[in-house]
Amino acid sequence: MFRDGATEHLPYRGEAPVGPGEIALPGGIARLLGVDVGETVTAIGPTGEQATLTLVGGFDPPERDDPFWYGDQTPFPPPDSTELPEALRFASRVVLFRDGKVEAEGRPEEISARLTVD
């Protein structure tokens, strides 16, 4: 999880990922993929490189009134902010997909500057 304490503020199953090769997925994505905690998934990057990841945890959306996500403790900037979300601050490169095709790739600050809300 990208934020300390997140598992205490989500309907969470399993363990939090703690090392390379471990992943937690939203419950809907895990159901769509047909995987459960303890099983593996293969992620394919934009260059075709593959990585096998073990699903160690799963979660459902947080409660809408939890200030950890939606109140004064939220890690996300306001909708009109130009500040990068916390999850992207540590990324060295991001790829933006639209309709299954690569629309842009580069450093997070370059990509976020080009994002618009439709």
- pLDDT of the residue at 22: 92
Place of tokens 């370059």: 110
Residues 89 and 45 in one domain: no
- Confirm if 55 and 35 have CB atoms less than 8 A apart: yes
pLDDT at residue number 63? 83
What pLDDT score was predicted for residue 112?
A: 62
Whether residues 33 and 80 share a domain: the answer is: no
| pLDDT for the residue numbered 14 | 92
- The verdict on 27 and 66 lying in the same domain is yes
Q: Can you give the residue range of the structural domain that contains 86?
A: 76-118
92 in the same domain as 71: no
Tell me: do 81 and 29 sit in the same domain: no
Q: For each of the chain's 118 residues, which pLDDT tens digit applies?
A: 567 787 788 888 899 888 889 998 888 888 888 899 999 988 887 788 888 999 999 988 888 888 877 776 666 656 565 555 555 555 666 666 666 666 667 776 676 666 554 4
Q: Work out how many domains the chain is built from and give that number.
A: 2
Do 95 and 61 fall into the same domain?
no
| 82 and 31 together in one domain | no
Same domain for 12 and 64, yes or no, is yes
67 and 48 in a common domain: yes
